[in-house]
Amino acid sequence: MGTMNRNDELAPAEKSRRSRNLWLAAGVFLAVLAVYVLANPGRIDLIDGQVRYEVTMNWLTVGRPVLMDPRVAHLAGVIRRKGFTYSAYGAGASVAAMPLVWVGTFYDDPPGEATRFLFSLTASVFGALAASVLYLFYAELGVAAKKALAWTGVAAFATLLWPASDTSFDNGQHGCLVLLAVFLGFMSGKRRSPCLAVLGGLAAGLLFTYQEYFALIIPLLALSTLDPSFWVHDGGISRARLLSRPFWLLLKLDVRGAVRAFKSPPGLSPEEVSAFHRACWRFALFLLAALAGVALALDYNHLRFGSVLETGKIPPQTQRVYPLFGNPLAGFLTLLVSPGKSILFYSPPIILGLAGIRRLWRHKPQVGCIIVASSVVLVLFISTISFVGGDWCWGPRYLTPLVPLWALAFPYVPTNTNWRQGLVMGIVGLGLIVQCLAVSVEHQRFFFERGLPDFFWAKDPWCYFKHSALVARPGEVLSLINGPPPEATLFNTYDNPPTYTTLGTPKGFPRSQAPQWMRHFRVFYVPRPWPIWMWDIPRGQRGINLEAWLAGTFGVGLLGFALLRRGLQELAVSGAADPIPVEAKRAPAG
């Protein structure tokens, strides 16, 4: 009877903890969103984004995901069914931007300005959502609330997640979906919930609508549905090994043996066998739900090209101006140690994730396994492609999906001595400086100032050991003090509207003369965030009410901080910091 009373007493405390965490997560979302929006360029900063915007806009207004802008269609269009021009990009990023672009259509004057501005904020919304989910993930891992908020701030503002949330590239959206899928899968294992496993699988499946190569890691993300006891050695064998055994037998075409290994795993009691089957069911539900994203992507292929297997991303060899695959060694070293694209240089706190992964693995083996396995698979795959850097862009954008995962290991970095605490603070400070530099100046300036050709990376796989946007960025920031050169009479290239993407030199123009050409456009010589450069645009050409947007963004930020304050006040009332829960005994997998 006493046990029942103790459980009854814990229920209100657990309810209070969850309520407080929801308030804090909402505060994190709004506060981070406000900062991301203020640091956003407020315009489409690359041709990839302009293509996706065209698909979004035409899908909403015309009813077809086609390209109608002749400049965009010429650069990135694929002519297929019924003579329409389609994009080779997946539907994910264009559909994700639809709510914002739809709102912009109601006051899009001059035409395109409001909708392009709102389109550019899509990644900021996803980045803020990733920060909110990261905080909730920390809380479920048992990290104290104040510590979880601090590390969420580190992940949001000292890693590559910040610049990835302030660009028209969709890699920040990938990171959000990866983290969301793992979090929902983790919660499904913790609460023994098949429904959460399905939701996690749906989130993972959406990755396929962006890029097909995410199919390589979706099965690894599904491991999140297996609760911690699944990974603990019991009697010399772990449940995870029992799960892998039927698969190995299937690879050997031993179907009967696989069925026996699954139905009656050795060394388990009947209750544990039942729990084992329920865990496997959650794992399978995650993968089955992910197939919904695959089905949507295939249907989109059929809509555009008349075939579910054609994506338009791999043109015939006669049309390809660069090789698809490159030097794997050069690609691997580029991603890890090059001054031009290394994840360690562009996102220094990743070092803290590496330092904390061992303790995280011991605490939550399934999370540690997912982080390491997904990183190995994704890095090895990206290393093999010739465009490993994803240029023209800032940093190793293809590795952005891994950043929120490695951030899960931040709270587990050892800080038990003063010198270790100082080292951690130094790395975090360096990461913050790098990200502030990232959002300060137009990225394409670096490439034009050096007269680099469009596919410079295809000619030299070691180019990122010779060129570094990060090394050049401090000088670019300092040059902003002098303002635009006298000949910079236009804001954007080709006399395009302010929020339209910045296009390169005219056809036939020598790229070696690009440094002189770019001096005619202010976009390369003014600070990147829209609240700064937009003041220089005549009021009738802005497309938005600048003062109202600034007031509204600051209001969102203040509301976020108010929610954070409320959550921290509840924390103070309920006790100091939440301790990391210690389970009296491990529950059976189920």
DSSP string, 83-116: G-EEESS-SHHHHHTHHHHHHHGGG--STTHHHH
- Domain, as residue range, for 53: 47-106+114-119
Q: How does residue 481 score in pLDDT terms, banded at 50, 70 and 90?
A: very high
Q: How does residue 16 score in pLDDT terms, banded at 50, 70 and 90?
A: confident
What integer pLDDT is reported at residue 360 of this predicted model?
94
| Chosen domain end from 458, 483, 508 | 483
Contact 222, 576 (CB under 8 A): no
Within a domain: 519: no
- Give tens-digit pLDDT for 382-404: 999 999 999 899 999 999 999 99
Q: How does residue 443 score in pLDDT terms, banded at 50, 70 and 90?
A: very high
How many structural domains comprise the chain?
Answer: 2
Of the given ranges (116-130, 419-433, 522-536, 558-572), which has the lowest mean pLDDT?
Answer: 558-572
SS3 545: coil
What integer pLDDT is reported at residue 230 of this predicted model?
64
> Any residues with CB less than 8 A from the CB of 358 and at least 6 apart, and which?
368, 412
Q: How does residue 581 score in pLDDT terms, banded at 50, 70 and 90?
A: very low
What integer pLDDT is reported at residue 585 of this predicted model?
39
On the question of pLDDT at 199 being above 50, the answer is yes
Where b means 16+ CB within 10 Å and e means fewer, 108-136 reads beeebbbbbbbbbbbbbbbbbbbbbbbbb
On the question of pLDDT at 455 being above 60, the answer is yes
Tokens representing 88 are 């080779």
pTM score over 0.85:
yes
Within a domain: 82: yes
Within a domain: 311: no
Cα separation, 581 vs 144, in Å, equals: 10
Within a domain: 344: yes
Instruction: State the first-to-last Cα distance of the chain, in angstroms, to the nearest integer.
Output: 26
Percent share of the chain, pLDDT over 90: 68
What integer pLDDT is reported at residue 243 of this predicted model?
61
What integer pLDDT is reported at residue 144 of this predicted model?
92
Contact 55, 66 (CB under 8 A): yes
193 vs 575: which has the higher pLDDT: 193
What integer pLDDT is reported at residue 309 of this predicted model?
86
580 vs 584: which has the higher pLDDT: 580
Place of tokens 């729990």: 275
Phi then psi for 159, rounded to 5 degrees?
-125, 175
What integer pLDDT is reported at residue 104 of this predicted model?
94
On the question of pLDDT at 588 being above 60, the answer is no
| Chosen domain end from 426, 454, 483 | 483
Within a domain: 467: yes
- Give tens-digit pLDDT for 53-100: 999 999 999 999 999 988 888 777 776 667 788 998 999 999 999 999
- Give tens-digit pLDDT for 336-386: 999 999 999 999 999 999 999 999 998 898 899 999 999 999 999 999 999
Q: How does residue 231 score in pLDDT terms, banded at 50, 70 and 90?
A: low
Within a domain: 284: no
Within a domain: 459: yes
On the question of pLDDT at 412 being above 90, the answer is yes
On the question of pLDDT at 7 being above 50, the answer is no
Arithmetic mean of pLDDT, 139-150? 93
238 vs 554: which has the higher pLDDT: 554
> Any residues with CB less than 8 A from the CB of 492 and at least 6 apart, and which?
498, 500, 502, 521, 523
What integer pLDDT is reported at residue 521 of this predicted model?
95
On the question of pLDDT at 132 being above 60, the answer is yes
Peptide bond into 419 cis (omega under 30): no
Contact 331, 368 (CB under 8 A): no
Cα separation, 223 vs 182, in Å, equals: 8
Within a domain: 289: no
Arithmetic mean of pLDDT, 39-57? 95
> Any residues with CB less than 8 A from the CB of 406 and at least 6 apart, and which?
350, 353, 354, 357, 371, 375
What integer pLDDT is reported at residue 385 of this predicted model?
93
| Chosen domain end from 483, 511, 536 | 483
On the question of pLDDT at 184 being above 70, the answer is yes
Q: How many helices (H) and strands (E) does the chain have?
A: 27, 2
Tokens representing 357 are 């992964």
What integer pLDDT is reported at residue 459 of this predicted model?
87
Q: How does residue 419 score in pLDDT terms, banded at 50, 70 and 90?
A: confident
CB atoms within 10 A of CB 434: 22
Percent share of the chain, pLDDT over 70: 86
- How much is the mean pLDDT over the chain? 88
- Give tens-digit pLDDT for 252-295: 666 776 676 666 666 666 776 777 778 888 999 999 999 999 99
Phi then psi for 234, rounded to 5 degrees?
-130, 110
